[in-house]
Structure 1
Amino acid sequence: MRKLYKMMHMASVAHARWDYETSMNILKSRKRMLILLLVALPAILFSVAMAVEPSTLPDILGGKKAYSPAFYTPEIFLVSILIGLCAGLITGCIGAGGGFIITPALMSAGIKGILAVGTDLFHIFAKAIMGTTVHKKLGNVSVGLAIAFLAGSIAGVVGGGFINHYLYNLNPVLSDTFISLVYVVLLGFLGIYAMLDFLKLKKAGGGDAHGSGGDSSKGLPARLQASKIPPLLTFDEDLVPGGKKIPALYVAICGAIVGFVAAIMGVGGGFLTFPMFVYILGVSSFTTVGTDILQIIFTAGFAAISQYAVYGFIFYTLAMGMLLGSLLGIQVGALTTKLVKGIYIRGFYATAILAGFTNRLFALPGKLADMKLISLDPGTGAMLATVGNWVFFVVVAIFGVWVVGTFVTKIGQLREG
């Protein structure tokens, strides 16, 4: 179990590394920033228009076929910016993916789970398209691995999207319950182990915020590469004489898992690709980086467009708000890491994950009662959900205030550095 946690933590770190690089590519380019502002302008204008005349919203909004939050207000747009800001702060400061808080946070703001997933995927896709400098990494990509992986990820995306659509059409409450349950299991597992690691490091007197990988040259990777199921793919030719070989089937299976999880949860495929390539398939980090960048673009893009956008389950105003907030948050968070000890960053990482876990856990009783699976007073269910929302947003807000406060009060040290 602990080895699984380390793999998942490495996945989070790898995705955060990609997120940071992508965001910096956008922030350092005036052309890209101008394009972003022009794209975000309609979202800002729409938010202002709703403040002036909210009655202009069509009646379909909020129904079973809803294309936006049940009750759209300018406040929700501002909340999306704050959610993106906090996710960016976590990514930049902790060095581990902050995207895990986005879907739970959007659902806590009153947005349907399937819409939160679709919007988060589109936000990842938009960031990847705008900020990823692919040509710098293409020399690292194994074409065979990329094709096999993408074939699997497309199949996985279709499967994950089908499940979300089916559950939503069957019962919107069932859809929210399913997505909440997935996050409860994932965040509960990650949060508990992250907190145990933090306490262990604190007792030992220190440690860094990121962790490290392990030796991938033995064990499972060696057994998979020894298999001779055709067709065989050759990779890492520049690092090993004659290269390594592995059946395309195993690469496609990994791709299917990544695509399935991405479509279900609304997370970037990079969250799982890096540890799967390194620890399961035995691919070098050098080759993994380029392939990971390509798969994020195609997996998130295919999932966002084919499984959510065409069905109306993306709210672009929220996506633009999250993108604007995350760009600022990542910049501030990354600079703040130079001012605080890694042990404190690791502690906030564990606390933020547990806050997301608590949020979705406390939302479950009310949803199960709505589905008549348990007997619970509606007032009690609403109270539990409210408590979960407060715990989540208060913890994230404290983290955000601490990071921003540290950045502002010690900005002189940064200038000296």
Structure 2
Amino acid sequence: MRAVYQSLMAAARAHARWEIETSQVILRDRRKLLILFILTLPIIIPAIAFAAGALPDFIGSKSAFGPSHYTPTIFYGSILVGVCAGLITGCIGAGGGFVITPALMSLGVKGILAVGTDMFHIFAKAIMGTTIHKKLGNVNLALAVAFLVGSGLGVTGGGVLNRALFNYNPVLSDFVISSVYVVMLGFLGFYALYDFMSSRKARQQGAPGGHDDVHGGGSGELTAVARKLQSVNLPPMIKFDEDIVPGGRRVSAAFVALCGAVVGFVASILGVGGGFLTFPMFVYGLGVSTFTTVGTDILQIIFTAGYGAIAQYAVYGYVFYTLAMGMLLGSLLGIQLGALTTKCVPGIYIRAFYAIAILAGFVNRLFALPEKMAQMGYVKMDAATGKLIANIGAWIFFVLVAIFALWIITAFVRNIPRMRAESAMAAAGKE
């Protein structure tokens, strides 16, 4: 279990590093900032018109043909969601995307729309600030192609299933998405809390704290599963890691495509990049080095999110453009603040807040289930009680995330003089 958790955390950290690099590329490029401003004009102009009471019916009102109606409150709320997700990503160094879909659903956005919008937000960020050229040196082309073939099939399957569930029963669709998040966030959150408690105990006793580095799949020993799969001669075979292991290693393209199908399916169901599954599958399942896995993972995130967002959700009307742009704006700010805060906050506290943030998402979706089950007739509960339980979960979630965000921002503001002094000393040392 610990090995799985460590690999999931390694995947989250790799995705966070990519998000930080991407946001920095966007913010440092005036042309990309101009493009971002142009992209937000269709949102800003209606917001001004709405405030003046002149918003026409065909632009997102309740009578418009679309899955959600537009209000400035929804847009501003999406910015705050993006800021919080960005703070988690930048400060903790692990993906904050896990909280986006639960947060949007708590704001009243349908699950399928939250999933499609989150994927579109990931894709928009990747296209605007992609740093994939920096990672091409550790991408094995054959591995990437086989993985993306499987990923395309998986994303298609996930998108078809999500749309079928929504068309059959929108409540059932929300229930399924929430249930998957409950299982995933519950595992990550409780194990993260256990890892934090173990690390703090070890620190108090003077022993080395638990670390989250992932071993295996590099030049070390392979897992039993990896040895078994690499021993299967099922053409076409893919050779990889020649620069790391003498003679390299080989695995069937069928197994790589199967991993891609699983990652793509889960990513399409949850609206995430899928990197949290790529790592354990590649490193522990296929025996691929972490070095090669990072490059392949960044590549697959761009293609998986792009194909899923456009072909499986946007063309069917399940992408809320307003929210996607709001989250993009918020996350760019949040990631930068979070990344700067890590320089002045002890790592063990960052672990604790990561566990709390993940568990907040777990509680949020768990408390939403009774209302959905009552609406489908699975349990007897009056509507007011179900709504109250869901609201309690939403308040717990937003209060905990707000406390976390406030803590990061406060730590950042308090340490501005210190960071300026360190920057000045570094600049003086270069002269």
TM-score of the aligned structures, taking structure 1 as reference length:
0.95
Structure 1 stretches lacking a partner, 5+ long: none
Tell me, yes or no, if structure 1 residue 107 matches structure 2 residue 108.
Answer: no
Q: How does 1:363-382 map to 2 (within 5 A)?
A: 363-382=368-387
Quote the Cα distance in structure 2 between the aligned partners of 1:404 and 1:357. Answer: 24
Query: Is contact 1:67-1:314 (8 Å) kept?
Result: no
- 1:130 corresponds to which letter in structure 2? M
Q: Which residue of 1 aligns with 2:310?
A: 305
Q: Distance in 1 between matches of 2:185 and 2:247?
A: 42
Secondary structure in 2 aligned to 1:53? coil
Counterpart amino acid of residue 359 in structure 1 = N
| Post-superposition CA distance 1:206-260 (Å, at most 9, x none) | 7779721122332222222122111101112233343211100110011001100
Query: 1:246 is aligned with what amino acid?
Result: V
Match of 2:275 among 270, 285, 294: 270
Q: SS at 1:56's partner residue?
A: coil
> Structure 1, residues 286-305: CA drift from partner, whole Å, max 9, x if none?
32222222111111100001
2:222 pairs, out of 218, 232, 246, with 218
The one of 134, 139, 142 aligned to 2:140: 142
Q: Is the 8 A contact 1:209 1:345 kept in 2?
A: no
Secondary structure in 1 matching 2:319? coil
Q: Distance in 1 between matches of 2:418 and 2:59?
A: 54
Distance 1:54 1:401, change over 3 A: farther
- Please tell me whether the aligned partners of residues 14 and 274 of structure 1 are also in contact (alpha carbons under 8 angstroms): no
Q: Choose 17-26 or 256-265, whichever is displaced more.
A: 17-26
Query: How many residues matched?
Result: 415
Which residue of 1 is the match for residue 128 of structure 2?
Answer: 130
Cα shift at 1:134 = 2.2
Structure 2 CA distance for aligned equivalents of residues 312 and 210 of structure 1? 43
Structure 2 match to 1:67: 66
Shift >6 Å, 4+ stretches: 59-63, 206-210
Indicate if the aligned counterparts of 1:208 and 1:346 stay in contact, CA closer than 8 A: no
**Unpaired stretches in structure 2, ≥5 consecutive residues:** 423-431
- Residue in 2 that maps onto 1:186: 184
Please list the CA deviations of residues 296-330 of structure 1 after superposition, one character each: whole Å capped at 9, or x if unmatched.
Answer: 11111000011001100001111010001001100
1:117–1:408 Cα change, 3 Å? same
Residue aligning to 2:332 = 327
* Identical-pair percentage: 61
Q: Which is worse superposed, 52-61 or 351-360?
A: 52-61
Match of 1:156 in 2: 154
Q: Please list, as runs of the form range in 1=range in 2, the aligned pairs for 1:251-266 lying within 5 A after superposition.
A: 251-266=256-271
Cα pair 1:160 1:260 within 8 Å, conserved: yes
**Which whole-Å deviations, capped at 9, do the CAs of 1:259-289 have from their partners, x for residues lacking one?**
0011000001223223322222121223222
The separation in 1 between residues aligned to 2:166 and 2:215, in whole angstroms, is 40
Alignment of 1:192-211 (within 5 A): 192-205=190-203, 211=212
Q: Which residue of 2 aligns with 1:384?
A: 389
d(CA) in 2 for partners of 1:62, 1:159: 31
Deviation of 1:140 after TM superposition, in Å, equals 2.0
Structure 1 residues 107 and 51 mapped into 2: Cα distance closer, same or farther (>3 Å)?
farther
Corresponding residue number in structure 1 for 2:285: 280
Q: Work out whether residues 67 and 315 of structure 1, in 8 Å CA contact, stay in contact via their aligned partners in 2.
A: no
Measured in 2, the distance between the counterparts of 1:96 and 1:30 equals 28
Distance apart, 1:154 and its partner CA: 0.5
State the AA in 2 paired with 1:168: F
Q: Distance in 1 between matches of 2:165 and 2:381?
A: 23
Provide closer, same or farther for how the CA distance between residues 119 and 241 of structure 1 changes in structure 2, counting only shifts above 3 A. same
CA distance in 2, matches of 1:60, 1:81: 18
In structure 2, the residue corresponding to 1:234 is in which secondary structure? strand
Q: Tell me, yes or no, if the aligned pair for 1:208 and 1:342 is still in contact at 8 Å.
A: no
Matches of 1:57 and 1:177 in 2, distance apart? 31
Q: Is the contact between residue 134 and residue 294 of structure 1 (CA under 8 Å) also seen in structure 2?
A: yes
In structure 2, C-alpha distance between the alignment counterparts of 1:150 and 1:348, rounded to whole Å? 34
Correspondences of 1:39-78 after superposition (within 5 Å): 39-53=39-53, 56-58=56-58, 67-69=66-68, 71-78=69-76
